[in-house]
A and B are shown apart, each in its own frame.
Chain A
């Protein structure tokens, strides 16, 4: 279309007529818009605006109206009138922004797309206080569910496109940046079994360099990524220069963040009361053992010591971000470059991320038949991590558990520790009655170090030639090189490795290189004016090599030494390491046909061979087909004048998930060292038939726009049938098989649902506009078969994948409340019999008091599902003159959360508790949900449906206010634009969930144990202000 316009515009630009000039600016920012097409309606006259947005045009005598067209902006018609000047301000158009979408190995005109694709523009991602762009996608796209694991910086983000695609394997989508697949790794760090301090490698990419993100959701859209497309594909396109422009801009924002919601813990006085009540209920109030907690006054200020440990471990984080970017281009060359630096202090003490990055994207067109370019980026990120969930020393374990009747410091200013390197005990009888030892919450954060430095080179180079008209041949070579250095230091004064070894440094260096070479040809031809045929075919190779090496040192000459410095340490454990590789070799093709921009059909096929699959199933074939009907182009639809466009789409295809370990199909022995003797031990039982998981995806939908594109609606129904699920199928423990599992293709499930995206311009009057964008997704998952239909149970025993239920279904003993007569906890057996538990006898009784068998794991029943049944976002943009206001809500619901954080803080052990425990049963007749306290009660507070809560929420994810300084003013100071803005993220959450935040997923990538809240650091709330200056 644009090409036709160009030809049309150029041909008769010098026809006779009267000269008209003017300037075209962006209605939102006031910036001049270069390259805007200006045409005289009903004629062939036209021109483009120059770099300052101005144009001059000779209008034929019969010309009365000018048409202004610019990609991504609403087309405007303006009558010429009698003057010689026509200035216009174009407003950005959501509908048109996505006029061209990036698809596998090419781009497509949005009107021709027959697959299901959601585009997200740069504006939604830029300048947000996030570490990685995936965090900013929350609520932005229908069918895409984003869950932040915690409020720790650069922690993992769970991204699920149209539901969970796998049971044992990763269900994360494939990320493709500028046409090159990214490393499929969700956490770069390996210490503590990869579960200690996490680092999301997407944080290596500067979000402000992103131009657009396309989410390919159905098989038709994703088929060209074959065996890696089952979980959807996220195509990221970085910014490139535009011809006819030259621009330098500087972005800065700064702000602060804090924990949005903290658990409500007991203060010192209540702590002592509650703990002693636990003991008194057990030993009797007169018994000397009934005092287990009491006051100390170490600082001798005459008052008992008190500490709110949450004040100690949480902090007001701050953030600053600088970016200088330059872009522009001429007819033959275009460029985009940027340098940026971000420094984010997290909400937890010592948690910090610093990233510097640089990018250069270059395209040159030396000949009309030759085009070449590079995209390169380098980034270096220093992440000061902290341990959180799963570790006794973790901030949310140590910080929440610690007794509030203790000081933080000794009188000499050192941390208050006991002789064992743990938190001091004060007057509390910890040793007898704790469940777990207490680490000094602050000392641990300050003295231990859990750093990683990630360096990433991501780039590609391409050559595109056009040997004959309509045929393009492209060769593209890309690399993704990661160098991650983990550096842990354990201090000798804190119990742990540092304590045992008099200081211990542990380092690990991971290097991963991935290269990818794709070569493909695209042929477009228009036959007989109506038959559009486009064909793409290519081959691609990819290879990954990875190794890591660890070095360690302990017993340091002095705590001064915190690195491996020759001569400074006496203890040197052996070094360790690992090395692996994998490869893909692929063929692909796509054939598209449309008749008169009305009837569309497309076929795609990819054949992938992956080194990781079993010898019997190396290569897989992934076909997809789709059809589209732009019914609005039919003559019988012309009567509906309000209708701008209506396209019906349907697609069906098969894609796969090959995200398995490099040698998952092999039976393997590894080194088996027995003291100093070398040996071989079995490490894995493999399966020669192992193959990719198969995802059969059906999508039926339509795209509608009406009332001059004021209302746009996209609807999709999808049904994904996943079979041959690769399960780390659990074997009976009595088999003794390594890891108690074998990777096997044994299971199936489906995801079905609907997606709706509605974009509207609600109001456009007197310079005031209100546009909004709503998306809604409803989804249902059900596991339809498993091996022998035996459920796959998570190691916690609380959730599983079971036939007939959604994946991750909770299976829990049912809580039946507290008996008002005696304060005993009551549970239901699987046959609905109520049994009450008396901690003093450690026995269960029926309600009539007769002793009965205990409640056991076999009384657990299916209790609800952790995955939201519905979710989405609601974005509003208001503009008035130079101001714009954004109000963005995110919502999600229909899911359950197992609040283990709460369970762990309501126990009968000597430990801090939630304030909720003050509702405990105290005397007959008390109606409460908190049983009578009893020291070291092993069962009353067991995991049951008591801790299962609804996860529905509505979050004001983002509130932003912007002001564009009028161009008249900016030009006075020699700048082309200035934009000022302020943002608040996560201002409030409406929810009934009792934990810190209903958006929580402690187990990250473990699909069968989603929705556990087990001491995840709560999400942050942040406030930023920023400025963008264009030169």
Chain B
């Protein structure tokens, strides 16, 4: 009997412990340690400012504006050796399931998502931003990034504006909404391709909003190149009008930018070592810690001391033999028998989106194209860029026709803006073929393979999405 009592004392003790435990043990209430909820992100002015920074962080997408989109435009241009590293892109042979193409497409829209998500969050929490003007600036920054990504997407995945008279051919889907779990699978999320003209119109609208609300540049602080500014929006609008062949507007835009204090550095190489001079209008900033393990930075792909995926021997042919042009002598390097650009030498190298020389050359080009004459001002602009690099100085008399001058301006563009994401775009918008290059065959202007396939994975899942011909 005593034993039973003793047992019962022991078991009561154990049962009591269990009972206590069932109350005390709360293992379910777990909040993330590594992450914040959307509500907490939009809870204070400081945090909202950080969400703006996040837009730029996602704009650094390794498969897109982290640098690769520039590579894709140039390895499909005329001034690099054919590059095999990037799936079928560099060989004009991608299939619609090409992983590199799919990653580029995904990367561009991924950056757009963050911008759209921010815009939605901002809309609900505008009152938490200290001033209305600052809220408008944030909105303009998000829309700037959205426009920028749409820009590169439409130029990679659709024929250039000039393919039809009014840009009425297929462009890309325009993404203006960040979907969530409740609607990401709905038909609403199945975006169809807008026409190129519609895409241009959307970009134009976003950039114009930027012109109104983005801060003007005052100096050479990090954010004045690495974040969107009024000047950056104006300059991209200039590029858009040039592609659209609206030369008057392009000239007007160029003049606006010129009036904002931008200027060339003394040496062409400076912009690639000092990233925040008045020559750089907008760049995607990088440092080593942004992505230390990347295989996707410009410095890795182009760097003579890195992966060396892209050599640029054909670039030399744009210059005379033994040229002392500074863009040869200070911006290229010979390594293992091949020529490499030194614009990008490490993971820290910034991605130049638009520099002031482009503004000068674009204006020159627009002047000539708009007037079909040998515009003296165009020659002056051309000389400004060329002379800085110790290059040829031209006289008006050097040009027998406006076409001569135009070709010279376009050649200067290739020299000056090489490997900055213009190669293929500049050829196609001027209705030029992509020339044969090494083992790559000539790709006639307007032919199917000059643009990339819409990734199969989206074609299969979205009945509204139309594939490019030939894929």
Whether A961 is near chain B, meaning CB under 8 Å from some CB there, is no
Shortest CB–CB separation between residue B243 and chain A, in angstroms? Answer: 22
**Is the pair B37, A668 in contact by a Cβ cutoff of 8 Å?**
yes
Shortest CB–CB separation between residue B303 and chain A, in angstroms? Answer: 9
Contact stretch, chosen from A55-63, A148-156, A729-737, A873-881: A729-737
Given A669-B41, A670-B34, check contact A463 B456 (CB 8 Å).
Answer: no
Shortest CB–CB separation between residue A233 and chain B, in angstroms? Answer: 21
Whether A683 is near chain B, meaning CB under 8 Å from some CB there, is yes
Q: A433-476: contact bitstring with B at CB < 8 Å (1 yes, 0 no)?
A: 01110000000000000000000000000010111100001010
- Nearest B-chain residue to A418, judged by Cβ: B336
Shortest CB–CB separation between residue A150 and chain B, in angstroms? Answer: 23
The distance in angstroms between the C-alpha atoms of A579 and B35, with both chains bound, is: 10
**Is the pair B27, A542 in contact by a Cβ cutoff of 8 Å?**
yes
Given A730-B457, A733-B102, A733-B458, check contact A738 B34 (CB 8 Å).
Answer: no
Whether A420 is near chain B, meaning CB under 8 Å from some CB there, is yes
**Is the pair B439, A432 in contact by a Cβ cutoff of 8 Å?**
yes
Contact stretch, chosen from B49-57, B264-272, B371-379: B49-57
8 Å CB contact of B50 from A500, A680, A688? A680
Q: Which of A466, A573, A736, A858 has the most CB of B within 10 A?
A: A736
Contact stretch, chosen from A255-263, A379-387, A582-590, A759-767: A582-590
**Is the pair B112, A736 in contact by a Cβ cutoff of 8 Å?**
yes
Contact stretch, chosen from A65-73, A671-679, A691-699, A987-995: A671-679
Contact stretch, chosen from A28-36, A266-274, A788-796: A788-796
Interfacial chain B residues near A431, Cβ < 8 Å: 338
Q: B437-453: contact bitstring with A at CB < 8 Å (1 yes, 0 no)?
A: 01101000000000000
Whether B455 is near chain A, meaning CB under 8 Å from some CB there, is yes
Contact stretch, chosen from B181-189, B319-327, B400-408: B181-189
Contact stretch, chosen from B18-26, B362-370, B387-395, B409-417: B18-26
**Is the pair A733, B181 in contact by a Cβ cutoff of 8 Å?**
no
Contact stretch, chosen from A405-413, A659-667, A713-721, A777-785: A659-667
8 Å CB contact of A465 from B7, B55, B289? B7
8 Å CB contact of B11 from A467, A746, A788, A938? A467
Interfacial chain A residues near B462, Cβ < 8 Å: 732, 734
**Is the pair A734, B109 in contact by a Cβ cutoff of 8 Å?**
yes
Find residues 94-111 in chain B having any chain A CB closer than 8 Å to their own CB. Answer: 95-97, 99, 102, 105-106, 109-111
**Is the pair A584, B53 in contact by a Cβ cutoff of 8 Å?**
no
Shortest CB–CB separation between residue B91 and chain A, in angstroms? Answer: 7
Shortest CB–CB separation between residue A357 and chain B, in angstroms? Answer: 30
Whether A419 is near chain B, meaning CB under 8 Å from some CB there, is yes
Whether B36 is near chain A, meaning CB under 8 Å from some CB there, is yes
8 Å CB contact of B54 from A517, A541, A680, A797? A680
**Is the pair A369, B438 in contact by a Cβ cutoff of 8 Å?**
no
**Is the pair A686, B11 in contact by a Cβ cutoff of 8 Å?**
no
The distance in angstroms between the C-alpha atoms of A622 and B56, with both chains bound, is: 46
The distance in angstroms between the C-alpha atoms of A638 and B108, with both chains bound, is: 77
Interfacial chain B residues near A473, Cβ < 8 Å: 11, 14-15
**Is the pair B22, A673 in contact by a Cβ cutoff of 8 Å?**
no
Q: A543-581: contact bitstring with B at CB < 8 Å (1 yes, 0 no)?
A: 100000000100000000000000000000110001111
Whether A2 is near chain B, meaning CB under 8 Å from some CB there, is no
Interfacial chain B residues near A466, Cβ < 8 Å: 7
**Is the pair A736, B97 in contact by a Cβ cutoff of 8 Å?**
no
**Is the pair A733, B53 in contact by a Cβ cutoff of 8 Å?**
no
Interfacial chain B residues near A609, Cβ < 8 Å: 28
The distance in angstroms between the C-alpha atoms of A788 and B462, with both chains bound, is: 11
8 Å CB contact of A432 from B97, B175, B438, B457? B438
Interfacial chain A residues near B189, Cβ < 8 Å: 731-732, 734-735
Whether A631 is near chain B, meaning CB under 8 Å from some CB there, is no
8 Å CB contact of A475 from B17, B36, B41? B17
Whether A497 is near chain B, meaning CB under 8 Å from some CB there, is yes
**Is the pair B10, A517 in contact by a Cβ cutoff of 8 Å?**
no
The distance in angstroms between the C-alpha atoms of A463 and B10, with both chains bound, is: 11
The distance in angstroms between the C-alpha atoms of A610 and B29, with both chains bound, is: 9
- Nearest B-chain residue to A741, judged by Cβ: B184
Whether A842 is near chain B, meaning CB under 8 Å from some CB there, is yes
Whether A769 is near chain B, meaning CB under 8 Å from some CB there, is no
Whether A519 is near chain B, meaning CB under 8 Å from some CB there, is yes
Whether A252 is near chain B, meaning CB under 8 Å from some CB there, is no
**Is the pair A578, B34 in contact by a Cβ cutoff of 8 Å?**
yes
Whether A854 is near chain B, meaning CB under 8 Å from some CB there, is yes
Whether B260 is near chain A, meaning CB under 8 Å from some CB there, is no
Interfacial chain A residues near B58, Cβ < 8 Å: 672, 681-682
Shortest CB–CB separation between residue B233 and chain A, in angstroms? Answer: 19
Whether A344 is near chain B, meaning CB under 8 Å from some CB there, is no
Tell me how many residues of B have a C-beta within 8 Å of chain A: 98
8 Å CB contact of A519 from B21, B114, B191, B338? B21
Given A673-B289, A675-B285, check contact A736 B111 (CB 8 Å).
Answer: yes
Interfacial chain A residues near B458, Cβ < 8 Å: 732-734
8 Å CB contact of B222 from A542, A675, A685, A733? A675
8 Å CB contact of A573 from B34, B109, B292? B292
- Nearest A-chain residue to B287, judged by Cβ: A675
8 Å CB contact of B53 from A539, A674, A854, A942? A674
Given A468-B4, A475-B14, A669-B54, check contact A680 B96 (CB 8 Å).
Answer: no
Shortest CB–CB separation between residue B27 and chain A, in angstroms? Answer: 3
Whether B38 is near chain A, meaning CB under 8 Å from some CB there, is yes
Whether A618 is near chain B, meaning CB under 8 Å from some CB there, is yes
Shortest CB–CB separation between residue A469 and chain B, in angstroms? Answer: 10
**Is the pair A856, B95 in contact by a Cβ cutoff of 8 Å?**
yes
8 Å CB contact of A668 from B35, B60, B173? B35
Given A465-B10, A467-B11, A573-B289, check contact A674 B28 (CB 8 Å).
Answer: no
8 Å CB contact of A680 from B33, B47, B60, B173? B47
Find residues 138-182 in chain B having any chain A CB closer than 8 Å to their own CB. Answer: 173, 175, 178-181
- Nearest B-chain residue to A464, judged by Cβ: B14
8 Å CB contact of A674 from B37, B60, B106? B60
The distance in angstroms between the C-alpha atoms of A730 and B458, with both chains bound, is: 10
**Is the pair B30, A662 in contact by a Cβ cutoff of 8 Å?**
yes
Interfacial chain B residues near A682, Cβ < 8 Å: 38, 54, 58, 113-114, 117
Interfacial chain A residues near B285, Cβ < 8 Å: 674-675
**Is the pair A679, B184 in contact by a Cβ cutoff of 8 Å?**
no
Q: A734-759: contact bitstring with B at CB < 8 Å (1 yes, 0 no)?
A: 11111010101010000000000000
**Is the pair B286, A675 in contact by a Cβ cutoff of 8 Å?**
yes
Whether B207 is near chain A, meaning CB under 8 Å from some CB there, is no
**Is the pair A685, B37 in contact by a Cβ cutoff of 8 Å?**
no
The distance in angstroms between the C-alpha atoms of A663 and B173, with both chains bound, is: 31
- Nearest A-chain residue to B461, judged by Cβ: A790
**Is the pair A938, B185 in contact by a Cβ cutoff of 8 Å?**
no
Q: Which of A463, A612, A740 has the most CB of B within 10 A?
A: A740
Q: B245-259: contact bitstring with A at CB < 8 Å (1 yes, 0 no)?
A: 000000000000000
Given A669-B54, A679-B57, A856-B96, check contact A475 B32 (CB 8 Å).
Answer: no
**Is the pair A744, B18 in contact by a Cβ cutoff of 8 Å?**
no
The distance in angstroms between the C-alpha atoms of A564 and B29, with both chains bound, is: 38
Q: B301-312: contact bitstring with A at CB < 8 Å (1 yes, 0 no)?
A: 000011110000
**Is the pair B106, A733 in contact by a Cβ cutoff of 8 Å?**
yes
B residues within 8 Å of A by Cβ? 3-4, 7-8, 10-11, 14-15, 17-18, 21-22, 25-30, 32-38, 41, 47, 50-58, 60, 84, 88, 91, 93, 95-97, 99, 102, 105-106, 109-114, 116-117, 173, 175, 178-181, 184-185, 189-191, 222, 226, 285-290, 292-293, 305-308, 335-336, 338, 438-439, 441, 455-462, 465, 470-471
Q: List 9 A-B contacts (CB under 8 A).
A: A431-B338, A432-B439, A666-B35, A668-B36, A732-B189, A732-B461, A734-B109, A797-B97, A938-B93
The 10 closest A-B pairs by CB, nearest first: A736-B113, A679-B53, A583-B27, A672-B57, A672-B54, A467-B11, A681-B54, A668-B35, A736-B109, A687-B181
Beyond A680-B36, A733-B105, A733-B106, list 5 extra A-B contacts (CB 8 Å). A541-B27, A580-B32, A585-B28, A733-B455, A858-B460
